[in-house]
Amino acid sequence: MSVFFKDIIGQRDVIGQLRRCVDENRLAHALLLTGPRGNGKLAIAIALANYILCGKGSGDACDSCPACVKLKKLMHSDLHFVFPVKKKKSGGDTNPVSDDYIAEWREMVSKGAYFSYDDWLAKLDVENQQPMIYERESGEILHKLSMQSREGGWKIVIIWLPEKMKEVGSNKLLKIIEEPPKDTLFLLVSEEPEKIIATIQSRTQRVEIPRIAQQDIETALQARMGLSFEDAAMIARQCGGNWEQAEELISLSDSKAQYLELFMQLMRIAYARNIREMREWSEQVAALGRERQKRLLDYCQRMIRENFIMNFKEESMNFMSRPERDFSVRFSPFVNERNIFGIMEELSEAQRHIEQNVNAKMVFFDMSLRMIVWIKNR
C-alpha cells in the first residue's frame, strides 16, 4: 500500500501547508510532527518524504516514476526509517538497530501507516522487553547521512517515536540535526514530545497535527471499510478524531481481543470469588511480559471508565467496539459511584508495581483478590 498525500485521511490544511513549504523551498531541515494519537502523523511524514523524493509530481508524488516505484515498496535508498526495536534472542545483540527489523517494518506500513505502538509491540512479540531506539542507531544515522545521495537528491530520515531513543544516542544526533548536510531532512514523529530531550526539541520546527475531522473519518469509513452511512456516522462520532480507534471500534485487533477476554475473565472470577481461577488468571497474565501487562492494565482502566459512563445512557459518550459493548451491557451496572474509584486505584497501583518490576504473579493475584471487594460493593 502506497502512502502519498492522496492516501491521507483528512488533514488537508496540514498537507497544504507542508506542500507549500516544499514548493517554495522554505521547509525546515528538521520537523517534529506531533498531536493526538491516531491523527495520521506517520502517514503524513511518509507522504511528505515521498513527495520530496519523487520531485516530479504537482501537489503529490507522481506514483509512477522509478523513485515512486521504490517508495511504494519502502525501498528507496535515500529514505531511512528509525523506530523502536527489541534485542534479538539469538546472537546476543544488545544494541540492535532499525535495519535489523526493516522487513517487519515494511510489512507493517504496507498494511497502512495508521498503526499504534501497541500494534508494533505485537508485531515484534516483545515479551518482557521494552523496545527502544538504541545508542548504535545514532551511529548508523550518521554513517548513512555522511554518504552521498544514491539517487542524486534528498536524504530523509523518519524517526518514529523519538521519545524512545536512549539519551546518549539523542545527544550524538544534536549537531547533525542542527546543521545537517545539504538536502537532508529529519522528520520526527512523536506521541509524547515532552519526553524528547529539550536540546533535540529546540532544534526542530514543531508541526501540531490536529485530530481528524469527524466528517473525514465518516467518509473514509464508507469508502475504505464499506460501512453504511449510519454505522460510519456512529463510529466517526465515537472515535473522537482517532482513526486507530475507529478501526478498533469496527473490530478488535488480536491484542485488544486478548485484553478484552482477560478483562472479562477478571471481572467474572472476582464476582464468583473463585480463588483457584484467580491464581490461574494471574499466572496467565504474568506470562505476557511487562509491556503487555502495562497495556492490559491501561485497557482495564479504560473499560472501567466506559462501563461507568454507559450507565448514563448517553451513546455519544461511549467509545467501545461491538464485542466490548456486548459484554458491558450486562456488566456496567456493577460499576458505579460507590466502587469506581476503588477499582481504578487497584488497577493503577498494580500498574505502578509492574513498572517497578515487582513479581507479576504476586501483583496480579493480589489485585484480583482485592477486586472481589469492589465488585461486590455495588
Same domain for 280 and 177? no
Write out residues in the chain with pLDDT < 50, as ranges: none
Domain boundary pick from 155, 190, 208: 208
Same domain for 44 and 175? yes
Residue 320 is predicted with a pLDDT of 80
Same domain for 287 and 198? no
Same domain for 352 and 246? no
**What is the span of the domain harbouring residue 234?**
213-250
Same domain for 162 and 47? yes
25-40 confidence digits (pLDDT tens) = 999 999 999 999 999 9
Same domain for 190 and 85? yes
Residue 2 is predicted with a pLDDT of 66
111-138 confidence digits (pLDDT tens) = 888 988 888 888 887 666 788 999 999 9
Residue 251 is predicted with a pLDDT of 67
Same domain for 219 and 332? no
Residue 59 is predicted with a pLDDT of 86
Kindly report the CATH number assigned to the domain that includes residue 114: 3.40.50.300
Same domain for 259 and 237? no
Q: 371 and 342 in contact (C-beta within 8 Å)? A: no
Kindly report the CATH number assigned to the domain that includes residue 358: 1.20.120
Query: Taking the model in full, what pTM does it have?
Result: 0.73
Same domain for 225 and 201? no
Residue 256 is predicted with a pLDDT of 79
Total domains present in the chain: 3
Residue 93 is predicted with a pLDDT of 63
Residue 321 is predicted with a pLDDT of 77
Same domain for 175 and 117? yes
Residue 1 is predicted with a pLDDT of 55
Same domain for 150 and 181? yes
Residue 316 is predicted with a pLDDT of 65
Please tell me the distance from the alpha carbon of residue 312 to that of residue 331, in angstroms, as a whole number. Answer: 14
Domain boundary pick from 208, 239, 265: 208
Same domain for 243 and 324? no
